[in-house]
Amino acid sequence: EVQLLESGGGLVQPGGSLRLSCAASGFTFSSYAMSWVRQAPGKGLEWVSAISGSGGSTYYADSVKGRFTISRDNSKNTLYLQMNSLRAEDTAVYYCAKVILVWQQLAGPLPGYMDVWGKGTTVTVSS
Amino acid sequence: QSALTQPASVSGSPGQSITISCTGTSSDVGSYNLVSWYQQHPGKAPKLMIYEGSKRPSGVSNRFSGSKSGNTASLTISGLQAEDEADYYCCSYAGSSTHWVFGGGTKLTVL
């Protein structure tokens, strides 16, 4: 069974740092791109970051660019999100998700959708 | 403000059909056949319901269907059941710099 389990959330002061982890099992981790999506309290889903299967390509939403770093350790089947300079507006449940690439004519493989999601970990930024 | 526009709420009675729209632009929904839909029950993780605009993952009821016309994608749920009551989000690939954009979500109430 494919499973994703996030950890590392907690309470942190504004300006602080936190590292989230996502342990994957049940599939060949290195063969898949992965993503982080967050959901602020009472709000909708917001894509945060994505990384290729090899880890060689990374992508970020403008709202976190320069502050967050996505990475992965394929030997440990684990995805990470290093979050620095945290702000109150970063308060959210953070989900990791497995990405399926879809072949598009003329464009090649593109991030199609997220087929498996973890249960999420809560990050609260407050003094 | 979300990149994709969804109605905040829709409702229907058991057995009826409802449709949730998701309006984007020529840079996202209109450019790629990469719209996905996610169902989220309170306190739970999102669940993939439709991908590539109209395809259903294994295990998802055939009461759920998706379509797209121009810059607008739609999710239709037929034969509404109580367990369908949830929030629904559309999502579209939006290019290499923006990557993914979500709709603001639609709360479905089964009356």
Range B66-76 average pLDDT: 97
Higher-pLDDT residue of B3 and A6 is: A6
Residue B28 CA to residue B101 CA, distance in Å, equals: 8
With a CB cutoff of 8 Å and minimum separation 6, the contacts of A30 are A53, A54, A74
Q: Helix, strand, coil shares of chain A as percentages rounded to 5?
A: 5, 55, 40
C-beta atoms of B38 and A45 within 8 A: yes
Q: Give SS3 for B84.
A: helix
Examine the pLDDT at B2 and tell me if it is beyond 70.
Answer: no
The predicted structure's pLDDT at residue A104:
86
Examine the pLDDT at B45 and tell me if it is beyond 70.
Answer: yes
Higher-pLDDT residue of B23 and B97 is: B23
The predicted structure's pLDDT at residue A82:
98
- The verdict on B104 touching A (C-beta cutoff 8 Å) is yes
- The verdict on A10 touching B (C-beta cutoff 8 Å) is no
d(CA B43, nearest CA chain A) in Å: 9
Examine the pLDDT at B23 and tell me if it is beyond 70.
Answer: yes
C-beta atoms of A113 and B34 within 8 A: yes
**Minimum-distance CB partner of A117 among B45, B57, B96:** B45
The predicted structure's pLDDT at residue A18:
98
- Amino acid occupying residue A64: V
Query: Which of A66, A31, A67 lies closest to A51, judged by CA?
Result: A31
d(CA B17, nearest CA chain A) in Å: 24
Residue B12 CA to residue B79 CA, distance in Å, equals: 10
With a CB cutoff of 8 Å and minimum separation 6, the contacts of A106 are none
C-beta atoms of A44 and B51 within 8 A: no
Examine the pLDDT at B5 and tell me if it is beyond 80.
Answer: yes
Q: Give SS3 for A70.
A: strand
- Amino acid occupying residue A113: Y
- The verdict on A95 touching B (C-beta cutoff 8 Å) is yes
pLDDT tens, residue by residue, A19-54: 999 999 999 999 999 999 999 999 999 999 999 999
Confirm if B101 and B2 have CB atoms less than 8 A apart: yes
C-beta atoms of A61 and B99 within 8 A: yes
Interface of A with B in 64-93 (CB under 8 A): none
| Per-residue pLDDT band at B97 (split at 50, 70, 90) | confident
Mark the ranges of chain A whose per-residue pLDDT is less than 50. Answer: none
Examine the pLDDT at B25 and tell me if it is beyond 90.
Answer: yes
**Minimum-distance CB partner of B51 among A47, A113, A118:** A113
Examine the pLDDT at B1 and tell me if it is beyond 60.
Answer: no
